[in-house]
Structure 1
Amino acid sequence: MSAGPSADDVPAPDPRLVADLRADLAAVGGDGYRVDAVTALLGLVADAALHREQPLAARRVVTAAVGAGDPLAALVGAFVLGLEVPSDVLATALPRCGLDGAGRLGLLEAVPGGRARARLELRPYAAVDAAGGADWWVASDLGETATGGPLRTDHVLGVGGASTTLARAVVREPVDRALDLGTGCGVQALHLRRHARSVVATDVSARALRVAALTLALDGGAGGDRPGEDGAAPGRGTVDLRRGSLLAPVAGEAFDLVVSNPPFVITPRTDGVPAYEYRDGGMVGDALVQHLVEDVGGVLAPGGTAQMLGNWEHRDGEPWTDRVGAWLDASGLDGWVVQRDLLDPAAYAETWVRDGGQREGAAFDALVGAWLDDLAGRRVDAVGLGLVVLRRPVDPSRPRLRRLEEVPGTGSGALGAHVADVLAAEEQLAGLDDAALARRHLVVAPDVTEERHARPGAADPEVVLLRQGGGFGRAVRVGTAVAGVVGACDGDLPLGVLVGAVAQLLGRPAEEVAAEVLPAARGLVADGLLRLA
């Protein structure tokens, strides 16, 4: 394992030092240690390469800028690239906190030759959610790109693709109590405290909780300099950091919202395969995700929602919708599972071996082989990746939502509002039979466009697509009758009247057109392309 600080070497954040550090980071270079400022420093080419985990171009730019005395470049060099930088240049970036103060926060250490290096990564993070834009600094461990070696098993992961995907998908309505299960570096808690009165953030890793405490402490927040619980920083909601596995730290409590980027990676239980705390829950196969789906309802208040990422096995001869659907049935909750990606066993193995910082070679091949053997032992021919949304019904007697689907891609922009709209639409539709739906007024969602495809010279299109600009970016193929009705859905007339008018225009029996349009309209409402006025 690569060298690095232990959990004991990440101290509880000193509020005075954190306040000084926050002021330094906000002021350095005039624009502050912000995402836009870092991008401008690196330039588009080096910045893009760094996002591909190719740091050479960024190192060249930063080394030259540090040599010219640029304090922002010193921060990027130390905290992003893991370079040893001249202490005097770094000191100009931290005039209030100082190098000694940064050392006492567990961020820096001196090295021979009048230089200093980072002991933790500290990156700017920009985000937009329902509460508006935010600029934060997120602490974590330096990754393999900076250290050049495999990760420690107690590695604390920074903000990555999975965490930003989850953050975009969370429903950001105001709630009383929220739970961030498996907080890691604390990024989900940063978002939650903007719309929850109180947040509990848990993790099995003592190291992660100490790093998350620093991340949260650096959040000046909109609520002023009011201290949060457990040394957490100011913000709209307090954050209570607790150590423990899965739901154990909150047993017997109830939350309005549970958010989790859990350790869902399917890892072989084989000697020689490292188990990383941030991604490996210690269970066989996809049992951890199954456990959370089936048991999270025990900490959900009536009407409460849980949103989590997960992986699930596709086993030979068993549809994944049956396996995961059985988890939903056992939960007793409304359930919506969206599979966004699918990897074959080799691609899955290679992804997670590389994620641990292992470079290609004999050790890499041995780890991939262990993954392939493990998956083959359970007849796994693919692994699905996606989003799980669960809700505890206020009225347990009504029909439950049970929806499992494949929607490839990443979606567009913030998905939280779309998720909320879909959940609300499903609840409305549950109480409407076809006759009742025909009496309702519908409107086309503002992000929907229509595409018509025809052969050259043809009078009529062969394909009509309704395309969703936001949400999951669905493209729904519809027939002429459905397209005609949707085109007239402006809220003025009931759906049944529109069906009759289109049937007359097409010269078809109204009952036949209704049999085609009503189920399609129901699906379009459920997917967010149509809305009940």
Structure 2
Amino acid sequence: MSQTTASSPAPSADPTLVARLRADLEVSGYTVEGVESALGPVAASALHREQALPALRASAPGPTDDAAQPAVLTLTRLFVLGQAVPAVALDAALPSLTAAGAAELGLVALSGEAPQGSQDAEPTARPLVDLRPYAAHDARGPVDWWLASDLGELATGGRLAGDHVLGAGGASITLAQVTVRSPRTRVLDLGTGCGIQALHASRHAQTVVATDISERALRFAAFNAALDGVRLDLRLGSMLEPVAGEEFDLVVSNPPFVITPRRAATDGAGGAEVPSGDDSLPGEIPTYEYRDGGRSGDDLVRDLVTGVGAVLAPGGVAQMLGNWEHRAGEPWTERVGRWLDESGLDGWVIQREVLDPAEYAETWIRDGGTTPEREPEAWAAAYGAWLDDFASRDVEAIGFGILLLRRPLPGEQVTLRRLEEHTGSVRQPLGAHLETSLAAHLWLETLDDAALGAQRLVAAADVTEERFYTPGAADPNIVILRQGDGLGRGVHASTSLSALVGACDGELSVAQIVTAIASIFEVSADDLSAELLPAVRGLVRDGFLAEQG
């Protein structure tokens, strides 16, 4: 199985040319909405499913004047679909930059610069990068940018290069949506790739440092920052090495967490480690800088969790995505929980997805561009290597999720240890909800039961109640408090707890409400308080109830 290499350098961030490009893009209609409108609903939907043919047809130029093609279709055909376009059409789409300027930036190769032997009948522009509009909504609000990355499998029709720089994929978008967005002084984007997390962070941070082990990725990040008018401090290096000795209020990371099979030597204690300096893989399985961290199993994520506290300022937060192994006889919560214990940080882990070893292997072999239809032998070799690797560590499943870590302030103790599974739908962006929940936890830690009872709480506007009755029964046998925002939690509630939540409008304290309910139900107020206050703490922590503003 051969490993390909990048065929073109990263684009230039020449300020004059980038400014011309930005000016052209701003008037071209080349936005997410503009592309979908120009392609039409059928082609746009197919493109979201990684099917290019309808979009190729919808963006095909007319039979006469190449320069008359709408700019948005020319740019979509070139930079999203990976098709060569007439140079005159690109001149028309980017009138300030022109095709020659795009070539100077490294975005395209003109027909005269094409590989030897090209028989182009007329001057054409061939794409060297993927440059597309990006629209998202994080906890700070909506954003609209353009992002450059390497051309993907949809455009090239082949396997990805080892130094492939990924654009805004599903994991990147997820991390951007779950990240807290309150104002920060210094933010670190560890493993920045094309720079997407750093761009998001620039909207609420005074300084953003972005690191990557790939110099090529940093060049893409520099281009994207210039194109979108953002200042970044870009540094080359592995993991936390480029920022050793520094502190940050927020660390975000979509690290190379994919668990890739490696040729390993037994360490004598039943475990396996990759020998120092040996990153070879069984069957020459290709590695990709954007996803493969060069470590055995989930060691990279573990090392990041246990080490990130060294660069967190007191009260600072780290948020990252990761994979972890579910090993036979060991609940994942115990495994990841040990990482949290070793970190010395407050920790909250939400497992969002679980794949069995076969599903995991299929996902990531396809992600690199290898398919059983196109390369059956390579597919089988990689598939077998993945299954063997997982079997060597008794891995039964692989979890994917979100990790939120916080360094306690001086004098504080670690109080947050929360590991949960939530595979259902959530209301994105989730960052504001997570930040509110973390703040609620810290607030609750300052309150004993008497102090909590003195609080005047209010029920969140998104909370609803569901009641289930046995036919003919006067009282419900199940009451569920349902959250419409955030994680969309459902909490089984007693009738008295439901009554308490319903009465939380900020007028009465929790203790007053409990006393009133106890009187109605003719029970001891002390006993009812002992029953309800732990539940109230959970509801405050999860956003059902809040401190009166």
Fold equivalence (TM over 0.5): yes
AA matched with 2:292: D
Quick check: 2:346–2:405 contact (8 Å CA) kept in 1?
A: yes
Residue 135 of structure 1 is matched in structure 2 by 144
Deviations 1:39-97 (A, max 9, x none): 10111221111111111111111115696622211100110011122221121001111
Quick check: 1:311–1:386 contact (8 Å CA) kept in 2?
A: yes
Cα deviation for residue 410 of structure 1 reads: 4.5
Higher mean alpha-carbon deviation, 496-505 vs 45-54, is at 496-505
Quick check: 1:10–1:105 contact (8 Å CA) kept in 2?
A: no
2:170 maps to 1:161: yes
Counterpart CA distance in 2 for 1:335 and 1:65 is 57
The DSSP-based 3-state class of the residue aligned with 2:316 is strand
Cα deviation for residue 5 of structure 1 reads: 2.8
Among 216, 238, 241, the residue aligned to 2:234: 241
Residue 118 of structure 1 is matched in structure 2 by 127
Cα deviation for residue 273 of structure 1 reads: 1.3
Higher mean alpha-carbon deviation, 12-21 vs 109-118, is at 109-118
Quick check: 1:4–1:119 contact (8 Å CA) kept in 2?
A: no
Counterpart CA distance in 2 for 1:350 and 1:3 is 23
AA matched with 2:348: W
Matches within 5 A, 1:45-60: 45-60=42-57
Higher mean alpha-carbon deviation, 202-211 vs 514-523, is at 514-523
Quick check: 1:499–1:513 contact (8 Å CA) kept in 2?
A: yes
Residue 366 of structure 1 is matched in structure 2 by 381
The runs of 5 or more residues in structure 1 that have no matched partner are 221-234
Distance 1:65 1:217, change over 3 A: farther
Cα deviation for residue 474 of structure 1 reads: 1.2
Quick check: 1:447–1:468 contact (8 Å CA) kept in 2?
A: yes
Counterpart CA distance in 2 for 1:467 and 1:45 is 36
Among 306, 309, 314, the residue aligned to 2:326: 314
Counterpart CA distance in 1 for 2:428 and 2:311 is 29
Deviations 1:288-312 (A, max 9, x none): 1100110101001111111101111
AA matched with 1:299: V
Counterpart CA distance in 1 for 2:42 and 2:246 is 49
Cα deviation for residue 442 of structure 1 reads: 1.4
Distance 1:268 1:144, change over 3 A: same
Counterpart CA distance in 2 for 1:263 and 1:107 is 26
Residue 272 of structure 2 is matched in structure 1 by none
Residue 36 of structure 1 is matched in structure 2 by 33
Counterpart CA distance in 1 for 2:228 and 2:414 is 42
2:515 maps to 1:494: no
Quick check: 1:171–1:419 contact (8 Å CA) kept in 2?
A: yes
Quick check: 2:52–2:81 contact (8 Å CA) kept in 1?
A: yes
Quick check: 2:139–2:430 contact (8 Å CA) kept in 1?
A: no
2:486 maps to 1:471: yes
Q: What value does the CA root-mean-square deviation take over the aligned residues?
A: 1.6
Residue 311 of structure 2 is matched in structure 1 by 299
Counterpart CA distance in 2 for 1:307 and 1:146 is 32
The DSSP-based 3-state class of the residue aligned with 1:63 is coil
Among 233, 236, 256, the residue aligned to 1:263: 256
Distance 1:265 1:495, change over 3 A: same
Quick check: 2:408–2:414 contact (8 Å CA) kept in 1?
A: no
The runs of 5 or more residues in structure 2 that have no matched partner are 112-119, 263-280
Higher mean alpha-carbon deviation, 42-51 vs 166-175, is at 42-51
Cα deviation for residue 484 of structure 1 reads: 1.1
Residue 77 of structure 1 is matched in structure 2 by 77
Cα deviation for residue 368 of structure 1 reads: 1.6
Residue 225 of structure 1 is matched in structure 2 by none
Distance 1:470 1:423, change over 3 A: same
AA matched with 1:383: I
Quick check: 1:340–1:410 contact (8 Å CA) kept in 2?
A: no
Cα deviation for residue 134 of structure 1 reads: 2.1
Residue 275 of structure 2 is matched in structure 1 by none
Deviations 1:236-256 (A, max 9, x none): xx3111110010010011111
Counterpart CA distance in 1 for 2:518 and 2:42 is 57
2:216 maps to 1:207: yes
AA matched with 2:16: R
Quick check: 2:178–2:428 contact (8 Å CA) kept in 1?
A: no
Cα deviation for residue 4 of structure 1 reads: 4.3
TM-score, length-normalised on structure 1? 0.93
The DSSP-based 3-state class of the residue aligned with 2:59 is helix
Residue 178 of structure 1 is matched in structure 2 by 187
Counterpart CA distance in 2 for 1:100 and 1:443 is 62
TM-score, length-normalised on structure 2? 0.90
Cα deviation for residue 520 of structure 1 reads: 1.2
The DSSP-based 3-state class of the residue aligned with 1:341 is strand
The DSSP-based 3-state class of the residue aligned with 1:12 is coil
Residue 425 of structure 1 is matched in structure 2 by 440
Quick check: 1:203–1:245 contact (8 Å CA) kept in 2?
A: yes
The DSSP-based 3-state class of the residue aligned with 2:159 is coil
Counterpart CA distance in 1 for 2:136 and 2:56 is 25
User: Once the two structures are aligned, what percentage of the paired residues are identical?
Assistant: 58
Distance 1:267 1:422, change over 3 A: same
Counterpart CA distance in 2 for 1:91 and 1:459 is 75
AA matched with 2:7: P
* Paired positions, count: 512
Cα deviation for residue 434 of structure 1 reads: 2.4
Counterpart CA distance in 2 for 1:483 and 1:456 is 21
AA matched with 1:333: L
Counterpart CA distance in 1 for 2:291 and 2:24 is 33
Higher mean alpha-carbon deviation, 401-410 vs 482-491, is at 401-410
AA matched with 1:390: L
Cα deviation for residue 198 of structure 1 reads: 0.8
Residue 383 of structure 1 is matched in structure 2 by 398
Cα deviation for residue 456 of structure 1 reads: 4.1
